[in-house]
């Protein structure tokens, strides 16, 4: 993990300004970076890679398997990358149906940046979830860690109401902290509409189609994730 941290630190002078810019103005940032060159796509994958590395480091204490950090990170990292590549194809299909003409690379680049920024937001929400449990609900925290590390979610349902209450409270905190990330994502959706140069009604239809077509993909990802965790 030390080598990974050193690599992340070496990229931070470039990564942090990009993260600040995409969070403060996702549509403007994507428009500036989405010119169609291979260099733009490499920068997007680099941003995604650093974001996911930070995400996995923050989630390392809750690793659900007995494998080492790099093995676990690599397996899940490949899974998430597959999801982003497949989701970008779903995006292109949805927008093409409503009249969009942008090529696949523009969707993939945008998805890389958005997935990277979203992972940081969810990591912060996850830290808040764990923090609430560790500080205020020690028994609930112990139960949660046991359920995750042993891949036994049913163990939570058998717990005492007092212990379950702590997990419910922490989850509510997680949802509250996740709201800004959700709102940011809704605002960022406009980037797809802008480079496809379509109206807001068509953008809304494309969003509906994306959600509809993504359902099988999300189910498949959950199945794969559960399989990786159970190994």
Q: Over the stretch 153-212, which tens digit does the pLDDT of each residue have?
A: 555 666 677 778 888 899 999 999 999 999 999 999 989 998 888 999 999 999 999 999
What count of other Cβ atoms lies within 10 Å of the Cβ of residue 26?
21
Task: Give the CB-side neighbour count of residue 34, counting CA atoms within 13 A.
Answer: 25
Domain that holds residue 202: 2-230
**pLDDT at 110 > cutoff 50:** yes
Query: What would the two tokens of residue 119 be?
Result: 């992972």
Contact 113, 214 (CB under 8 A): no
**pTM of this structure:** 0.83
What is the DSSP secondary-structure string of 26-69?
HHHHHHHH-SS-HHHHHHHHHHHHHHHHHHHHHHGGG--SSS-H
- The 10s digit of each residue's pLDDT in 47-93 is 998 898 888 887 765 554 445 556 666 777 788 888 999 999 999 99
Q: What is the pLDDT of residue 95?
A: 95
Using a pLDDT cut of 90, give the percent of the chain over it: 38
How many domains does the chain fold into?
Answer: 1
């Amino acid at each position: 993990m030390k080598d990974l941290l050193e690599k992340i630190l070496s990229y931070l002078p470039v990564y942090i300004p990009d993260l600040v810019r995409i969070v403060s103005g996702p549509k403007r940032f994507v428009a500036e970076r989405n010119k169609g060159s291979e260099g733009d796509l490499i920068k997007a994958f680099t941003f995604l890679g650093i974001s996911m590395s930070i995400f996995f480091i923050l989630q390392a204490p809750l690793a659900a398997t007995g494998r080492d950090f790099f093995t676990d990170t690599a397996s899940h990292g490949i899974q998430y990358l597959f999801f982003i590549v497949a989701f970008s194809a779903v995006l292109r299909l949805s927008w093409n149906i409503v009249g969009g003409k942008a090529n696949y690379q523009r969707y993939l680049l945008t998805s890389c940046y958005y997935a990277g920024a979203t992972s940081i937001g969810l990591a912060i929400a996850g830290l808040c979830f764990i923090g609430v449990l560790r500080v205020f609900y020690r028994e609930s925290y112990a139960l949660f860690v046991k359920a995750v590390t042993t891949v036994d979610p049913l163990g939570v349902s058998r717990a005492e109401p007092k212990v379950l209450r702590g997990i419910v409270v922490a989850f509510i905190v997680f949802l509250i902290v996740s709201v800004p990330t959700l709102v940011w994502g809704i605002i960022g959706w406009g980037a797809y509409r802008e480079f496809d140069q379509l109206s807001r009604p068509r953008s809304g239809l494309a969003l509906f189609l994306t959600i509809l077509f993504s359902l099988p993909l999300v189910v498949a990802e959950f199945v794969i994730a559960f399989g990786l965790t159970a190994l």
